[in-house]
A and B are shown apart, each in its own frame.
Chain A
Amino acid sequence: MNQYDHIVPPKWPRKFLRFFVKKEYLEEIEGDMEEIFRESLEEHSVRKAKRIYAFEALKLFRPILIKNLGGDYRLNHYGMFKNYLKTSLRSLKKNTLFSSINIVGLAIGMSVGILMILLLSELHSFDDFHAQKDNIYRVTSTRTLYGREGNYSTASYYIGSQIDAQIPGVDKVLIMGRDMSADLRTEEKAIPITGFYAPTSFFDFFSFKLKKGNPQTALADPNNIVLTESASKKLFGDADPMGELVSADGHQDFQNGIITGVIEDPPVNSHMQFEALVALKTLDKRAEGQERNFKDNPRDMYNSYVYLVLNESTKTEEVEDAIGKIMNDYNSNAEAPITHRLQPLDTFVTSDTYVNGTGPRFSQRKIYVMIGLTLIVLLSACFNYTNLSLARALRRSKEVGVRKVTGATRFQVFIQFMLEAVILSLIALIAGLGLFFLIRPEFLNLPNPAARGYQMFLLDINYLQLLYFLLFAIGVGCLAGFLPAMFLSKLKARIVFNNASKVKLFSGVNLRRVLIVFQFAMSIGLIMCAVLVHRQYKFALNYDLGFTTEKIVNIRLKGDYANLLENEYSKIPEVVETSKSSVVLGVGSAMLTMIKSEDKSSTVSLLMSEVDERYFNMHEFEILAGSGFLSPLREDESPKYVVVNEAFLKGLNLGSPKEAIGKYVWRGDTRLEILGVVGDFVSITLNINLEDAFGFLQTSKASRYHTLGVKIRSNDLLATMGKLEESYKGLDPVHPFEATFYDDQIALAYQPQKTTYTIISFLAFLAISISTLGLLGMAVYTTESRMKEVSIRKVLGAGISNLMLLLSRSFLVMIAVAGTVAVPITLYLVDNMILNEFLYRAKIGLIEILSGFVIVMVISALTIGWQIRMAAVRNPVDTLRND
Chain B
Amino acid sequence: MKKTKLGEFEELVLLTVVVLQEEAYGVEIKRELEERLNERLSVGSIQSALKRMEQKGFLTSEFGEATKKRGGKRKRIYSATPYAHRVLTEMKDVRAGLWASMPKLAYDLKII
Contact = CB atoms under 8 A, between A and B. Distances in A.
B70 A35 contact: yes
Contacts of A16: none
B44 A34 contact: no
B43 A32 contact: yes
A35 B47 CA distance: 14
A760 to B, nearest CB: 67
A36 B71 CA distance: 11
A31 B44 contact: no
Interface in B10-60: 25-27, 30, 42-45, 47-48, 51-52, 55
A33 B26 CA distance: 9
Most buried by A among B42, B67, B74: B42
A31 B64 CA distance: 11
Given A25-B51, A64-B48, A65-B48, A33 B43 contact: yes
B27 A36 contact: yes
Interface in B63-101: 63, 66-67, 69-71, 73-76
A81 interface: no
Contacts of A34: 69-71, 73
Nearest to A22: B51
Nearest to A38: B69
A30 interface: yes
A28 B73 contact: yes
A738 B26 CA distance: 97
User: Chain B: interface residue count, which band?
Assistant: 20 to 34
A854 interface: no
A62 B75 contact: no
A28 B43 contact: no
Nearest to B71: A34
A28 B74 contact: yes
A38 B69 CA distance: 7
Contacts of B76: 27-28
A38 B71 CA distance: 10
Interface string A32-64: 111110110000000000000000100111101
A29 interface: yes
A9 B42 CA distance: 17
B44 A61 contact: yes
B66 A31 contact: yes
A60 B27 contact: no
Contacts of B30: 32, 36
Nearest to B77: A28
Nearest to A14: B71
A31 B75 contact: yes
A32 B26 contact: yes
B69 A65 contact: no
A40 to B, nearest CB: 11
Most buried by A among B44, B63, B75: B44
Contacts of A35: 27, 67, 69-70
Nearest to A36: B27
Contact of B75 (A28, A39, A61, A64): A28
Nearest to A58: B44
A61 B42 CA distance: 11
Contacts of B55: 64
A297 B66 CA distance: 96
A65 B42 CA distance: 14
A64 B53 CA distance: 11
Interface string A655-684: 000000000000000000000000000000
Contact of A29 (B43, B66, B67): B43
Contacts of A30: 71, 73
A60 B42 CA distance: 8
A35 B63 CA distance: 16
B73 A31 contact: yes
Interface residues of A, number: 21
B73 A36 contact: no
A4 to B, nearest CB: 10
Contacts of B74: 27-28, 31
B47 A65 contact: yes
Contact of A59 (B44, B52, B69, B73): B44
Most buried by A among B42, B63, B70: B70
Contacts of B25: 28, 32
Contact of A60 (B43, B67, B70, B75): B43
Contact of B48 (A28, A36, A62): A62
Nearest to B61: A28
Given A32-B26, A64-B51, A59 B42 contact: yes
Contacts of B44: 56, 59-62, 65
Interface string A798-818: 000000000000000000000
A56 B75 contact: no
Contacts of B43: 29, 32-33, 36, 56, 59-60
A162 to B, nearest CB: 69
Contacts of B26: 28-29, 31-32
Contacts of A64: 48, 51-52, 55
A37 to B, nearest CB: 9
Nearest to B67: A35
B43 to A, nearest CB: 5
A31 B66 CA distance: 9
Contacts of B75: 28, 31-32
B27 A56 contact: no
A67 to B, nearest CB: 13
A59 B44 CA distance: 5
A35 B30 CA distance: 12
Contacts of A38: 69
Interface in A255-287: none
A864 to B, nearest CB: 68
Nearest to B66: A31
B28 to A, nearest CB: 9
A60 B69 CA distance: 20
Contacts of B69: 34-35, 38
Contacts of A32: 25-27, 30, 43, 47, 70, 75
A64 B48 CA distance: 6
B40 to A, nearest CB: 10
Contacts of B71: 9, 30-31, 34
Contacts of B66: 31
A59 B47 CA distance: 10
A617 B59 CA distance: 113
B45 to A, nearest CB: 8
B70 A31 contact: yes
A85 B72 CA distance: 47
B42 to A, nearest CB: 4
A536 B76 CA distance: 87
A65 B48 CA distance: 7
Most buried by A among B52, B67, B76: B76
A30 B74 CA distance: 9
Contacts of B51: 25, 64-65
A30 B69 CA distance: 12
B10 to A, nearest CB: 12
A25 B47 contact: yes
Interface string A58-76: 0111101100000000000
B29 to A, nearest CB: 9
Most buried by B among A9, A27, A31: A31
A440 B51 CA distance: 62
Contacts of B70: 31-32, 34-35
Contacts of A28: 25-26, 63, 73-76
A30 B51 CA distance: 15
Interface in A471-504: none
A42 to B, nearest CB: 11
6 contacts: A27-B63, A28-B63, A32-B25, A39-B27, A62-B44, A65-B44
Given A35-B27, A62-B44, 10 more contacts: A25-B51, A27-B63, A32-B30, A35-B67, A35-B70, A36-B27, A56-B43, A60-B43, A64-B51, A65-B44
* 7 A-B pairs closest in CB distance: A31-B73, A32-B26, A59-B44, A31-B70, A28-B76, A34-B71, A60-B44
